[in-house]
Amino acid sequence: MARSVPEDLNSRPVAVIGGGTLGRRIALMFASQGGLVRVYDLSADVRTAAVEYVEKKLPDLVAARPGASAGRVEAVGDLPAALEDVWLVVEAVPERLDLKRSLFPDLDRLAPADAIIASNSSSYPTRMFTDDVAGKDRVLNMHFYMPPAQNAVDLMSSGHTDPAIMELLKAKLPGYGVFPFEARRESTGFIFNRVWAAVKREALAVVAEGVTTPAEFDEMFTINTGAKAGVFRMMDQVGLDVVLDIENHYAAENPHLPEGPRAVLHEYVDAGHLGLKTGRGFYDYE
């Protein structure tokens, strides 16, 4: 029997699980259509910072987009309360399979029966962490890049996702200022993120081999592509720990991948230089 898709989206909240670099940005986008967004994170400090981030950015975002209106964002420290009456849950906890594997059965058990449950994972298909989830037909990958600056979104089925959910999201997401593209079959890294992984890897490789430096590479990249920021600056924004987790996953799937790029990332991560979030990465932000 086909699953029923959620209705009354405008009057029901969205829950974002994990309020770090991406969670707070996802919350921002879903708060731009007048509704309520709840941010749940294990860390009270992160929850508070996520709400502050949304409240600071929302007025400009709403002013710049015709038809947008400022909604509300709330920090919630209790998972069942965060999920009450939501139409959509977006998971944005760290890129570790064990975390996602233990979280998704809880999300499936606690969310309303018709709610959609999405993962913002950068590289793990939901199939890999939903063995113990009964409602696989309401689960999918919904991968954001760096909203509100980079607003494409990959959608990918769990292998069981109800096609009506895909259609609903394709129709509704542009209203929140994000633009969905569906991977038509399972792909590690979906569509664009897979190509981006190769770009990051090769940029790290030329640095690992001593051919150039991060700053000079970025300068050349921006001159040639017209991009506002180079690859190393963008990795700093993402967080070098997250970039390393993602590359480790690709390397586990493809053992022939070069080690140099991971060695460069390790050097920074081991020194605690995770990029923008710690004030130092390939660049110094202090």
Question: Could you list the residues that contact ligand NAD (CB under 6 A)?
Answer: 17-23, 40-43, 46, 92-95, 99, 103, 120-122, 143-144, 146, 238-239, 242, 246
CB of 80 to ligand NAD, least distance (A): 13
Q: Could you tell me the smallest distance in angstroms from the CB atom of residue 72 to ligand NAD? A: 20
Nearer to ligand NAD, 99 or 191 (CB): 99
User: Among positive and negative, which fits the CA dihedral 255, 258, 260, 265?
Assistant: negative
Residue nearer to ligand NAD on the CB measure, 17 or 116: 17
Q: Please name the residue that has the structure tokens 């991977």.
A: 183
By beta-carbon proximity to ligand NAD, the closer residue of 162 and 239 is 239
- Minimal distance in Å, beta carbon 265 to ligand NAD? 14
- Closer to ligand NAD by Cβ: residue 5 or 262: 262
In the DSSP assignment, the letter for residue 275 is: B
User: Rounded distance, CA 214 to CA 264, Å?
Assistant: 11
Sheet holding 36-40, edge to edge: 72-76, 36-40, 14-17, 88-91, 116-119, 139-146, 150-157, 179-182
Which 8-state DSSP code applies to residue 10? Answer: G
Measured at CB, which residue is nearest to ligand NAD?
A: 20
Q: Residue 36 Cβ, how far from ligand NAD at the closest point, in Å? A: 18
Dmax (CA) for the chain in angstroms is 58
Q: Considering beta carbons, is residue 5 or 47 the nearer one to ligand NAD? A: 47
Q: How far is the CB of 216 from ligand NAD (least distance, A)?
A: 23
Residue 154 has φ and ψ, to the nearest 5°, of: -85, 135
